[in-house]
Chains A and B, each alone.
Chain A
Amino acid sequence: MIHTENLFKSFDSNQVLKGITVEFQKGKTNLIIGRSGSGKTVLMKLLVGLLQPTAGKVWYDNTDFFSIGKRELRELRMKVGMLFQGSALFDSMSVEANVRFPLDMFTHMTAKEKLDRVNYCLDRVSLNGVNSKYPSETSGGMQKRVGIARAIVLEPEYLFCDEPNSGLDPKTAIVIDELIRSITLENNITTIINTHDMNSVMEIGENIVLLHQGAIAWNGSKSEVLTSDNEILQDFIFASPFLQRLRKAAIDSGHLE
C-alpha cells in the first residue's frame, strides 16, 4: 500500500498540488484521473520520487519515502516498476536487452536464469519471439507491453503506469488494461495508473482518485462513478454531449438510480 499525507507541490509561485492525502490499496488497480493540468503527472512523479514535495509525506507501507537513506532508497526502488507514457525503451537495445537491463544491473543471476526470466515476462505480456527486435521495429502496443515486461521483471511490489493507453487504439488499450489488472491480481501488488482514458476508468478502476485543480475532488470505485452526483466527476466523465445524452437516457429508463 502507498499513501500520501498532506502532499503539497509548488513550482515557484504556482501551487500544483494542494494537500493531497490519499491511499492507494494493495492488490487493486488505483487510478488517478483528472483533466489536463490537474496535477496527475506531478502527483505520479512525486510518488515515484522524480520530484521532491514542497511539503507532506509519501509512505510505501511503513517507509517514509523522502526520509530514507540512499541505500534504503535504492533497495526500495528495486521494488518499484514503472511503465512510461512513451514506454521509455532504450532505442539502442533489443527488446530482450531492454527487459534484461534491470536483471543485469541488480541481480547476480546467471545468463540462463536471466534469459528464462526475460522470456517468462515477455510470454506474460504475449510477446513471444520478439527478443531480437529493436523498439523501432515494434508497434506502439508492443512497446507498451515490452515496457510492462521490463517493469515486472524484478517482481515489483509497486507498479506505476503513466498514461498506459495513450496513442493506442481502443482494442489494444483494453488488452493493456486487462494485462495490468491481471498482473496486479496475480502478484498482489499496489498498482497506480495515471490516465484520462474513460474505458480504463470503467474497466479497471477499483479505486479512483479524481484530481481537480491540484486537490482531490472525488474518490471512489468504478461502480460509484455512474451514480455519483459529484459535478466535477460528472463533468469529467461525461464530457461529450453524446455521453451526457446516454447518461440521461440511462437514468430516464431506470438503469441508473
Chain B
Amino acid sequence: MLFTKFLYHFGRYVMLMRSAFSRPERFNMYYKETLRQMNDIGIGSLVIVGLIAIFIGAVTAVQFSFQLDGTLVPRYYIGYIIRDSTIIELAPTITCLVLAGKVGSNIAAEIGGMRQKEHIDAMEIMGVNTSAYLVMPKVIASLFVIPMLVAIAAFVSVVGGYLASVPTGLLSSSEYVLGVRSFFNDRNLTLMFVKAVVFAYLLTSVSAYQGYYVRGGSIELGRASTNAVVFSDILILLFDYLIAVVFT
C-alpha cells in the first residue's frame, strides 16, 4: 500500500517536472517571473540565513573550544574545524533545511492557494502551461540563488566563529585566522556547491509538487505546506548522506 502510494506520487512528480521543463510560451514572462522569484527567495531569505549562520559558527567555536580544552590539539584547529564543518556540512544542510521551512512552505502555499482560487484553471484555459509557468521559474531561481545563500552562510558562519572565540579570549585573532587558512582543500567547496544545488532543486520542486496538486480547502492547504517542509527535509538529509558517500 505504502509502496503503491510512493510510486503514484513519484510518477506524478516526474510527469510534473517533465511538463515544467518545456518550452516557455513567452520567454520574457518567464524571465521576469524568475527574477521575481530570485528576489523573493534570495533577498527575502538573507536575514534569516545570516542570523542562523552566525550562531552556527559561534556555537561550533564555543563547543570545540570546550572539547579541545586540555588536549594536545593546537588551539588554532578551532578555526580549521569551523571552516570545514561549515563548508562541508553545516552551511549547505542547515541553510537548506531552514529554507525548506521558509521558501518551501511559501511555494506550496502560493501554488496551492492559486489552485484553490481557480487561478491555475484560469491560466490553463487561457492556454498557459501552468506547470511550466509556476514551477520552472521557482526551480531555476533557487538553483541560482540558494548556492549563493549557502556561500554567504559559510562565510558568515566563519565570522560568527571569530566573534564568539576571539573577543571572549578563547583564542587569539591570529590563531583563528591561521586555523581558517590551514589545510584548505578546494574539493570541499565543490562538495558544498553540489549539495546546495541538489538541495535547492529538491526543496523547490517537492514544495511545488505539494502545492500544485492540493485539493480541498484550507486544512488541505496547510497539510500540503507541512508536507512540503517534511518531505523536503527528509530528502535533503537523504541526499546529504548519498552525496557524502559518493564524494568520499
Q: Measuring CB to CB, which residues of chain B are less than 8 angstroms from any residue of chain A?
A: 25-26, 28-29, 117-119, 121-122, 124-128
Q: Which residue of A lies closest to B116 (CB)?
A: A86
Do the beta carbons of A82 and B125 come within 8 Å of each other?
yes
> Which of A80, A86, A88, A102 has the most chain B CB atoms inside 10 A of its CB?
A88
Distance in angstroms between the alpha carbons of A101 and B127 in the assembled complex? 12
Neighbour of A77 across the interface among B26, B28, B126, CB < 8 A: B126
Do the beta carbons of B29 and A105 come within 8 Å of each other?
yes
Chain A residues with CB under 8 Å of B128's CB are: 105
Q: Which residue of A lies closest to B114 (CB)?
A: A90
Chain B residues with CB under 8 Å of A137's CB are: none
A226 within 8 A of B: no
Do the beta carbons of A86 and B125 come within 8 Å of each other?
no
Distance in angstroms between the alpha carbons of A154 and B127 in the assembled complex? 12
Chain B residues with CB under 8 Å of A102's CB are: 126
Chain A to chain B: the 5 pairs with minimum beta-carbon distance, closest first: A77-B127, A88-B122, A88-B118, A74-B127, A82-B125
Neighbour of A50 across the interface among B25, B117, B125, CB < 8 A: B125
- Expressed in whole angstroms, the minimum distance between the Cβ of A77 and any Cβ of chain B is 3
Q: Which residue of A lies closest to B133 (CB)?
A: A105
| Known contacts A84-B118, A88-B119; A106/B26 CB under 8 A | yes
Chain B residues with CB under 8 Å of A48's CB are: 125
| Known contacts A86-B118, A88-B117, A88-B118; A106/B124 CB under 8 A | no
Distance in angstroms between the alpha carbons of A82 and B118 in the assembled complex? 11
| Known contacts A48-B125, A102-B126; A90/B25 CB under 8 A | no
Prevailing SS type, chain B contact patch: helix
Do the beta carbons of A104 and B26 come within 8 Å of each other?
yes
| Known contacts A74-B127, A77-B127, A106-B127; A82/B122 CB under 8 A | yes
Distance in angstroms between the alpha carbons of A131 and B126 in the assembled complex? 21
- Expressed in whole angstroms, the minimum distance between the Cβ of B74 and any Cβ of chain A is 55
- Expressed in whole angstroms, the minimum distance between the Cβ of B203 and any Cβ of chain A is 22
A1 within 8 A of B: no
Interface string of A102-126 (1 = CB under 8 A from B): 1011100000000000000000000
Distance in angstroms between the alpha carbons of A75 and B127 in the assembled complex? 8
Distance in angstroms between the alpha carbons of A106 and B124 in the assembled complex? 13
Neighbour of A78 across the interface among B26, B124, B127, CB < 8 A: B127
> Which of B25, B29, B119, B125 has the most chain A CB atoms inside 10 A of its CB?
B125
Do the beta carbons of A105 and B119 come within 8 Å of each other?
no
Distance in angstroms between the alpha carbons of A7 and B149 in the assembled complex? 53
Distance in angstroms between the alpha carbons of A90 and B28 in the assembled complex? 19
> Which of B26, B119, B126 has the most chain A CB atoms inside 10 A of its CB?
B126
Chain A residues with CB under 8 Å of B127's CB are: 73-78, 80, 105-106
- Expressed in whole angstroms, the minimum distance between the Cβ of B99 and any Cβ of chain A is 22
Distance in angstroms between the alpha carbons of A225 and B28 in the assembled complex? 51
- Expressed in whole angstroms, the minimum distance between the Cβ of B76 and any Cβ of chain A is 51
CB proximity to B under 8 Å, residues A143-167? 154, 160
Do the beta carbons of B124 and A50 come within 8 Å of each other?
yes
Q: Which residue of B lies closest to A160 (CB)?
A: B125
Q: 9 pairs across A/B with beta carbons < 8 Å?
A: A77-B127, A80-B127, A86-B117, A88-B122, A104-B26, A104-B28, A105-B26, A105-B29, A106-B25
- Expressed in whole angstroms, the minimum distance between the Cβ of B33 and any Cβ of chain A is 11
| Known contacts A104-B29, A106-B25; A90/B119 CB under 8 A | yes
Distance in angstroms between the alpha carbons of A104 and B26 in the assembled complex? 8
Chain B residues with CB under 8 Å of A76's CB are: 127
Interface string of A32-56 (1 = CB under 8 A from B): 0000000000000000111000000
Do the beta carbons of B121 and A88 come within 8 Å of each other?
yes
Distance in angstroms between the alpha carbons of A4 and B28 in the assembled complex? 38
Chain B residues with CB under 8 Å of A154's CB are: 126
CB proximity to B under 8 Å, residues A53-75? 73-75
Extra A-B contacts (15), CB below 8 Å, given A82-B122, A86-B118? A48-B125, A50-B121, A75-B127, A80-B127, A82-B125, A84-B118, A84-B121, A84-B122, A85-B118, A88-B118, A105-B29, A105-B126, A105-B128, A106-B126, A154-B126
Chain A residues with CB under 8 Å of B125's CB are: 48-50, 77, 80, 82, 160
- Expressed in whole angstroms, the minimum distance between the Cβ of B96 and any Cβ of chain A is 26
Q: Which residue of A lies closest to B110 (CB)?
A: A92
Chain A residues with CB under 8 Å of B117's CB are: 86, 88, 91
Distance in angstroms between the alpha carbons of A86 and B121 in the assembled complex? 12
- Expressed in whole angstroms, the minimum distance between the Cβ of B239 and any Cβ of chain A is 32
Chain B residues with CB under 8 Å of A78's CB are: 126-127
Chain B residues with CB under 8 Å of A77's CB are: 124-127
Distance in angstroms between the alpha carbons of A58 and B79 in the assembled complex? 70
